[in-house]
Amino acid sequence: MRNKAAYKRVVIKMSGEALQGRRGYGIDPFMTEKIAKEIKETKKLGVQIAIVIGGGNIYRGSTASGQGVDRIIADYMGMLATVINGLALQDALEKAGVMTRVQTAIEMQELAEPYIRRKAVRHLEKGRVVIFVAGTGNPYFSTDTAASLRAIEIEAGVILKATKVDGVYSADPKKHKSAKKFKNLKYIQVLNKGLKVMDATAVSLCMDNHLPIVVFNLLKKGNIKRVVLGEKIGTVIK
């Protein structure tokens, strides 16, 4: 087993649902504590870690807009949900002894720093985990797109797409037993097949900038560390 990180700097894209645990909504302190411990163990490898967090466990803008809420207002509400999740994760990480900074695309100086690329990179170089919240700060753009954008801006080596399944499948493996798991995919295959990995804008950004994506199961203990070590788990898109 390797004991040296395969990447110098990574962006972990984590859904808001990852924080809800078995509750099915909101934030489960047990899950934030578990994730914080996994990140702490991974940091010991010397890798620089940034996180982009979603807000679907609290409020999903795209869903709300389909229920009659103005799309732009719904998206901003979803961005605020990501701030709540980011602060919860920050609290768990710092209780685990990991220094952090939360940077937001929407200014709220009492809670978090405004996003400044050079400052984010400096925090990473000093060994802090940087949590990016509020997406890109713009409606109509998902947190997947925010993850791609931030990863490119801070020159990360990979996006680690943390999910509830162990990779990308041809169909939902929970509904279709015949679903095929892909070990490797090309960006264009993801786009052409309409695979539910990240939205098309996010995948296109990665494709244009040659940024690999690894889709893996966050719920399996030790998986973040395994991915950073370069072990062949999940699905690699490049």
CB-CB contact of 81 with 113 (8 Å): no
Task: Give the pLDDT score at 196.
Answer: 82
CA 48 centroid distance within chain? 14
Domains of the chain, each with CATH number or no CATH: 9-237 (3.40.1160.10)
Q: In the numeric block, which tokens belong to residue 118?
A: 């050079």
CB-CB contact of 147 with 13 (8 Å): yes
Report the alpha-carbon distance of residue 121 to residue 154 in Å, rounded.
6
CA 238 centroid distance within chain? 17
DSSP state of 115: P
The rounded mean pLDDT for the chain is 94
Q: What is the pLDDT of residues 107-149, one digit of tens each?
A: 999 999 999 999 999 999 999 999 999 999 999 999 999 999 9
Q: In the numeric block, which tokens belong to residue 231?
A: 């072990």
Q: In the numeric block, which tokens belong to residue 154?
A: 């801070």
Q: What is the pTM of this model?
A: 0.94
Report the alpha-carbon distance of residue 3 to residue 140 in Å, rounded.
41
Compute the average pLDDT of residues 206-232.
Answer: 96
pLDDT category at 203 given cuts 50, 70, 90 is very high
Task: Give the pLDDT score at 120.
Answer: 98
For the ranges 39-48, 133-142, 168-177, the lowest mean pLDDT is seen at 168-177
